[in-house]
Structure 1
């Protein structure tokens, strides 16, 4: 049973609420909170119910979700998932390769049966910059979901043949407008979970969803899930947000997120500005912690001609690698 912050069975107005769902683990509650803030601020005329799916939550994040409701006048429902849900898949060879958070996105629509006819699933590493009305007005018909195609050459050349996709398209699952009953009727949850736990997936649950939804996706404009891979820009020394095409959702794919202090890009300040109007306003940005993050940070600094700082952080990276080797020996 979900852990409720508010009873969503009775909308707070005569408007039909828009159901939006997230699947998060410990490191993404802040990102999700800022995403929600950006959605609400850009859609003042819509009634929202935000569903938060997770296997665990800290007392601090629970308190912040309650503040989020009051601060923005929205409904938030927390769904704490039981790990026994996945018991039948633990026997499969690839199960242990994935963290529990990998499975959350696959479980959401079935949990919303009887609550929502359609649900907008969002990753927690994106920001909203516009009106969602056109997306929410899409008639899915027999399609299970609407999503944006990933048309990068590397994806087309590798993932479509690797997954045996018969309809020649691959989508990014960070934004999906889902018909709940069509999802359930097609048994998407079971098909995707079995694929994820029996096959070696490059992009984990996203690959599994592409298998389960092959031929049942309505493809929509890139503006609904514009991927902005910060590593690519920072590696080239580009620090300004300069996009020529329209976008409503900007999705920060890759290991660098706007809430990282070592994200040396203008988007960090924009994210911090939106965060300042959320319950996470006082939360400091995350510093580099892993060896990979230390290495990337040093690389970005050197690219921006901050040589002394870059050398310092590269030494921190080398020390981190050394400590890892000593622990494993």
Structure 2
């Protein structure tokens, strides 16, 4: 089945066996995050990569030009695929996660037609901080993917959740980073099976739940956070010298206005995960060096986010701004009732 409406190619090549393919799925709401991720990869890796962007909706000229600049500046192929996604319309989505999340299920089918046999899928809310070339040398054998287990401070809850999903074990992985063995994925028709399963029930973690159900015992599941260090990783599990990819899971993204003063000195009582705050600053530094450096940070969209902004200013000693944000918090909270 053809899942593509059209594609735009910058520095396109005919043989993808000579490069490392990386895929991302995005839309206009997080195109800046996607650009910063790509920029961070290119900054830290001398190897030859090809990027495959699966885009939902219309890409404006400004962002198209910035993506083209990355391709030309770093001499890398960047291919943008505009998806046909009618088959995904009836699938479960949330306020913060659109059906774009399901694009990763269809992505291997498209890349197979491009001649790609192995692809690294990455969520756009990530930052690369080191060389990831070794990741592509992992021997997949008969496994469908290489993944990293989900880290949590409430393991007993996750054990119960895995049982609720019908999984035999409790090795639940975060699907934000997957090195996919495309021929095996296609042979077992994982994408179409996943969409069908997602259509039958509204899973809490959407496509991630579905992939964990279908891929149990069919993946290499790493217990180290080196290539997918989520915000749930605790200080004693974090190794700064080994971590290559930081994943800003949860709602507190580094492009949100209420995180713009977060750094290694912030913490704000979260001592168990204090390592992560310096990476918000590192993301801002990377964004400031990228073609997206002048894009404004996202303003609060809910009363909770206005409270976060007030807390940030108060912690920084900017009390006037903190009071103004707190007033907005109260107004938004009253409107929500």
- Provide the TM-score with structure 1 as the length reference: 0.84
Correspondence list, 1:1-329, <5 A: 1=4, 2-6=6-10, 8-10=12-14, 16-44=18-46, 46-56=47-57, 57-86=59-88, 90=90, 94=92, 99-115=98-114, 116-152=116-152, 153=155, 156-220=158-222, 221-228=224-231, 246-263=242-259, 264-266=261-263, 267-302=279-314, 309-325=321-337
Contact 1:159 1:170 (C-alpha < 8 Å) held by counterparts: no
Please state whether the residue corresponding to 2:112 is helix, strand or coil: coil
How much does 1:324 deviate? 4.0
Corresponding residue of 1:239: none
Please state whether the residue corresponding to 2:113 is helix, strand or coil: coil
**Cα distance change of structure 1 residues 177 and 5 upon mapping to structure 2, 3 Å threshold:** same
Output the CA distance in 1 between the equivalents of 2:148 and 2:167. 16
How much does 1:21 deviate? 0.2
Output the CA distance in 2 between the equivalents of 1:299 and 1:163. 37
Contact 2:144 2:219 (C-alpha < 8 Å) held by counterparts: yes
Structure 1 stretch 53-62 or stretch 122-131: which is displaced more? 53-62
Contact 2:11 2:72 (C-alpha < 8 Å) held by counterparts: no
Show structure 1 runs of 5+ residues with no match. Answer: 234-241
Contact 1:229 1:254 (C-alpha < 8 Å) held by counterparts: no
Per-residue CA deviation, residues 233-266 of structure 1 (Å, 9 max, x unaligned), is 9xxxxxxxx9656200011111111122210312
How much does 1:191 deviate? 1.9
Structure 1 stretch 25-34 or stretch 262-271: which is displaced more? 262-271
Number of residue pairs aligned between Structure 1 and Structure 2: 309
Output the CA distance in 2 between the equivalents of 1:105 and 1:163. 21
Contact 2:22 2:122 (C-alpha < 8 Å) held by counterparts: yes
Contact 2:88 2:99 (C-alpha < 8 Å) held by counterparts: no
Output the CA distance in 2 between the equivalents of 1:273 and 1:300. 19
CA RMSD of aligned residues (A): 2.7
**Cα distance change of structure 1 residues 28 and 155 upon mapping to structure 2, 3 Å threshold:** farther
Output the CA distance in 1 between the equivalents of 2:188 and 2:157. 25
- Provide the TM-score with structure 2 as the length reference: 0.83
**Cα distance change of structure 1 residues 190 and 163 upon mapping to structure 2, 3 Å threshold:** same
**Cα distance change of structure 1 residues 168 and 147 upon mapping to structure 2, 3 Å threshold:** same
Per-residue CA deviation, residues 279-303 of structure 1 (Å, 9 max, x unaligned), is 2122222222333311222344445
